[in-house]
Amino acid sequence: MQEEFDIAILGRGAAAFSFAIKTSELSHNQAKIVMIGYGFIGGTCVNVGCVPSKYILESAKLYQKMIHPPFPGISSDENSLDFRKLMESIENLTSGERKTKYEDVLTYYPNIHIMNGRGRFLGPDRLEVVNGNERSEISADNIVIATGSSSSYPNIKGVKELKGELLTSDSVWNLREKPHSMGIIGGGYIALELGQALSMLGVNVTIFKHHDTINRMGDRDVDRKLIDAIQSDHLKVLTGYSVNEIKKNGTSYEIIAENEGSISKFEFEKVMIASGRKANVESLDLEKAGVKYNSRGITVDESMCTSNSQIYAAGDVVEQKFNLETIAAREGTIAANAMFGQPYVPVDETFIPWGIFTDPQGAFVGYSENELRQKGIAHESVEIDLESVPKARIINETKGIYKLLFSADDHKILGIQVISPMATEIIMEGAYILRNNMSIEDLVSMTHIFPTISEGIKIAAQSYSRDISKMSCCME
């Protein structure tokens, strides 16, 4: 028997929940909605992504400060680490967040139903849901695809055979015994964050990174400074290395990598694949629904509508520049408003800030210098070392930079790049600066609280027109 719904949602993460809740509000809880998915509800971020990764990073930073206090005269007699207890506490955190922000929220919306299983299209308005040996069919007037993304595996010899043993950013949270060493394949923000966190907890980590930039559209000089800032005795980032093969040698793994024609071999207790994520589209049978997609995800317009006007898509499953939980939730709301004929504000990637939660952190908004050159936009830039910011000297954390990009004619800010403590908090000021079309002169005239790390934005702006080494404190 086929069950009928007003709206069916494939997925149960941030985009799916945002859409379901907004739709419920617009329909005054009258729309009959079903969310279809498997595993824990809440999606990547709360279960295996941003929530646990930031927790382990903060734990690792604290552990390092216990071992190496940043101020003279302070020492710690006890700096023990119970790795198992730490990892178990991460599981408690994610289950608590999942309950508070997802499971409990559903109690306010009795019209939203949860169906466990994997869904696929049988037609433009029909889905099959498989849960173990059980199969059911449903129909819906509108369908939303919000199936998110999952760890992708590179085409490297040995990966297919060892897939069940290799760690990913999804499975690393199952570790209970601290490995002595770990090789990480991939050099994006996931690899850098988890690699540094584990290294600060005492794991000898080597990251194999094919490119010398974190984001291919980013600026090599800035990315290089962040990579250099996070390397330590326990963390090595090898750029320009192509991994050719992974082998199992007894209880350890051998990575064979090539750099400038030279072959090197490395041995690790564990290996993690962190070479990116892929949109979860493979098992959906999108062709039966007339939904167009490519290797990067589903194609949508600014309203999140797919090539089938009755089907929308949102979140990491969509082809787009940024895969962030905040964007996924925003897109779910846009799709709901568009479906109900309500006004919506499309996502503008120009003003989207993004960050890397390493220590120091990296945060970015607007254009990179590389992008400005490719677009042929005449521009100038200023850059200061974090050492120039008094608060950085006060807290003894001076690794980092502030870089401002601005138009050559009217000096309007086009991009801001920050490497510093709390950069991911500071960059929101940068997002407001870009959204309000402010100039470098506007930044100079802004009064900041002293002493703060965010004061670096003003000091960087001042460096355009004067020698900041000749300025007294707080001078304009």
Tens-digit pLDDT profile for residues 10-48: 999 999 999 999 999 999 999 999 999 999 999 999 999
Q: What is the extent of the structural domain holding 97?
A: 2-150+278-347
Residue 473 forms part of a structural domain = no
**Residue 29, domain member (yes or no):** yes
Instruction: Share the mean pLDDT of the chain.
Output: 95
Flag whether 204 is in a domain: yes
Q: With 90 as the cut, is the pLDDT of residue 215 above it?
A: no
For residue 476, what pLDDT is reported? 82
Whether 437 is in a domain gets the answer yes
Q: Establish if 475 belongs to a structural domain.
A: no
> What average pLDDT score do residues 228-239 get?
95
Q: How far apart are CA 42 and CA 33, in angstroms?
A: 17
Residues 324-357 pLDDT 10s:
999 999 999 999 999 999 999 999 988 899 999 9
**In a shared domain, residues 431 and 367:** yes
Is residue 417's pLDDT more than 70? yes
CATH of the domain at 170: 3.50.50.60
For 43, other C-beta atoms within 10 Å of its C-beta total: 29
300 and 166 housed in the same domain: no
290 inside domain: yes
- The verdict on 120 and 12 lying in the same domain is yes
The residue-averaged pLDDT of 306-315 equals: 98
Same domain, 284 and 270: no
Confidence of residue 429 (pLDDT cuts 50, 70, 90): very high
The pLDDT of residue 466 = 95
In a shared domain, residues 439 and 293: no
- Percentage of the chain exceeding pLDDT 90: 92
Last residue of a domain, one of 224, 243, 275: 275
Number of domains in the chain: 3
Confidence label for 1 from pLDDT (cuts 50, 70 and 90) = low
CA atoms 42, 43, 48, 54: torsion sign: negative
Residue 394: CATH number of its domain: 3.30.390.30
Last residue of a domain, one of 259, 275, 291: 275
Q: What's the pLDDT tens digit per position in 368-401? A: 999 999 999 999 999 999 999 999 999 999 999 9
Domain boundary among 325, 347, 369: 347
| Residue 471 covered by a domain | no
Residues 35 and 136 both lie in one domain: yes
pLDDT mean over 206-228: 88
Model confidence at 475, in pLDDT bands (50, 70, 90)? confident
Q: Tokens in use for 371?
A: 């992008």
pLDDT in tens, 51-95: 999 999 999 999 999 998 889 998 877 778 999 999 999 999 999
Same structural domain, 359 and 310: no
Q: What's residue 298's pLDDT?
A: 98
User: 143 with 216, same domain?
Assistant: no
346 preceded by a cis bond (ω within 30 of 0): no
Q: Based on the fold, state whether residues 328 and 359 are members of the same structural domain.
A: no
pLDDT for 78 equals 72
